[in-house]
Structure 1
Amino acid sequence: MISTSTRYQIITTNMTRTKALIENDAAVKREIEYYNKTIKTIKTIDEFIKNDRVFKFAMKAYGLEDMAYGKALFRKLLQEGVASPTSMVNKMSNPLYKEFAKAFDFQGKGAEATSAASATTEAVEKYVQQTLEQREGNDNQGVRLALYFKRKASSITTTMGILADKAIMEFVQTTFNIPKAAAKADIDIQVRHLEKILDVKDFQDPKKVDMLIQRFSAMWDMNNASVAATSPVLTLFNQSTDQGIGLDLMMSIAKLRRGGW
């Protein structure tokens, strides 16, 4: 298996081609065609919730696939909407719920909610991205986390935003070698610790985001040596790697040290 960094680069070097391959997959293509044909015909929350295929598509698109069974909860979220500061979705710590409620804003837009870009073209784009990340995660969860961080980093503007997103937090824990047990500490202590080791403003800088992904990839492979790459060069000459750490991983670590992270 190739290293996390190498696989990530292969995917992102030509993301348009990568996504096109996903879109042309027979199963994915069928779901997209059905969704595109059906979504604009849905005019109410009940119609949306009751169409299991459309609802699951939308839930997956907005990163909530694992919660697709909670139809009663999402009916209430959509009924209350996002406009009122006292609505349920505005009290939830996970930002994905609010993003979903805004995308399918029946409370604010009524029957026109399913004609909005967030419910049509954007939902399809997000579905393809989610499918890509899930498939990569089946082979290497580190690649999935790297892709997720690249996609979500700019939306994280506070340290609390890191703590609120489990995947982002796992990325940060891995990148900076923070023990998982640290998550049991008081929230204020966690915030202070994170602010000592990173500046969340860096998440708005594409170059710094890429550097963080590079560091994460090296740390992920070092912590999961069994999935780290065997260098193609060493394989060609029938040489083994030390403890599963490939040449490309060692080079990545060397670059990180030179970069001062």
Structure 2
Amino acid sequence: MAITNVSPVTTYITAVKDEETAAENYAKMDATTSREVTTFKEQAASITSADGLLKNYSVLQVVLGAYGLGSISGETAVIKDLLTQDPTSASSLAKKSDNATWLAFADAFQTWGQNKGSASATPFTSDMINSIVSQFEESQYENSTANQDDGIGNALYFTRKMSGVTSLPQLMSDPTLLKVVETVSGYDPDQFGALNYDQQVSMLKNKVDLTKLSTPKEIQQYAEQYLALLQINPQTPDTPATMMDLFGGDTGDQGIVALFGVDGSSSSPGDLYSGLL
């Protein structure tokens, strides 16, 4: 939680040293999070199939929250594909998406994916339950109002997740990581989001060098830069992103959503694009 009269950068530096403990303490104090964690612990181990998870709303919300997929909680067909398709297969939704978040989720339930959604034993082992609880608490902590108001939550998320990103498409598939990078690159996230996918790629590939975001120190310094820039140009916290937002908002035949056979058209804001270059 943010600390009164202390700069966001200072608060972030304090929190990032042991976010797990800070998130655990937040979860104990926040009644909703505490209740959700308790229910998850009581019910998760009894779930042995993808259908069972999809039918248990409370457990599903904790799982999705832990993997940063709360924005697709209403996309049942997508979640089912991620749970029932082998993530190592080139034809699976997770693999085709090149979405690091989707891949991590599918990999966690790979035993279901390789057996079309069921298994003789539940994947919810004690270790997995503890891991999901920890990730969920961190997610709730990062998304708390106090941490979203000044960007600390996004900075903490960026620090946790960025080490697993190895390509620009992976980065762009995660709206929170993308927002941090947009800000540090000098772009307004709202205006940048109005561009189509190809335009976004063209602009970011000259701004983002992933080889310089490969160590914890580099990632943390980048997160601190993001927070410092927000003090100069504050941003209004976003509402949860839609599934289309995960892919840059482009439904054209050149956008990444074309992988899933989605057709559509969008206007090309050339004036805005030229102005940002």
Compute the TM-score of the two structures, normalised by the length of structure 2.
0.71
What amino acid does structure 2 have at the position aligned with 1:122? S
**Aligned pair 1:3/2:7, yes or no?**
yes
Q: Which residue of 1 aligns with 2:162?
A: 153
Cα separation, 2, equivalents of 1:127 and 1:66: 14
Return closer, same or farther for 1:17/1:101 CA change in 2, 3 Å cut-off.
Answer: closer
Give the superposition deviation at 1:75: 2.0
Cα separation, 2, equivalents of 1:38 and 1:72: 23
Q: Is the 8 A contact 1:80 1:87 kept in 2?
A: yes
Q: Which residue of 2 aligns with 1:99?
A: 104
After TM superposition, list the pairs within 5 Å mapping 1:17-32 onto structure 2: 17-25=21-29, 26-32=31-37
Return closer, same or farther for 1:139/1:151 CA change in 2, 3 Å cut-off.
Answer: closer
Which of 203, 207, 211 lines up with 2:217 in the alignment? 207
| Structure number with larger C-alpha Rg | 1
Compute the TM-score of the two structures, normalised by the length of structure 1.
0.75
What amino acid does structure 2 have at the position aligned with 1:108? Q
Cα separation, 2, equivalents of 1:200 and 1:117: 35
Give the superposition deviation at 1:99: 1.8
Stretch moving more, 1-10 or 35-44: 1-10
Return closer, same or farther for 1:74/1:198 CA change in 2, 3 Å cut-off.
Answer: closer
CA deviations 1:71-112 (Å, max 9, x no partner) are 233223322231321122222243322222222231236233
Which of 210, 227, 252 lines up with 1:217 in the alignment? 227
Q: Which structure 2 residue ranges, 5 or more long, are not aligned?
A: 238-277
Q: Which residue of 1 aligns with 2:141?
A: 132
Which of 148, 170, 177 lines up with 1:168 in the alignment? 177
CA deviations 1:165-209 (Å, max 9, x no partner) are 22112101111212444451562x644543433420122112211
Q: Is the 8 A contact 2:67 2:104 kept in 1?
A: yes
> Aligned pair count?
226
Q: Is the 8 A contact 2:180 2:226 kept in 1?
A: yes
Cα separation, 1, equivalents of 2:126 and 2:15: 26
After TM superposition, list the pairs within 5 Å mapping 1:110-129 onto structure 2: 110-116=119-125, 119-129=128-138
Cα separation, 2, equivalents of 1:225 and 1:101: 33
**Aligned pair 1:44/2:49, yes or no?**
yes
What amino acid does structure 1 have at the position aligned with 2:124? S
Give the superposition deviation at 1:118: 7.2
Q: Is the 8 A contact 2:27 2:141 kept in 1?
A: no
Cα separation, 2, equivalents of 1:114 and 1:101: 12
Question: What's the RMSD between the two structures over aligned residues?
Answer: 2.7
Which of 65, 72, 76 lines up with 1:71 in the alignment? 76
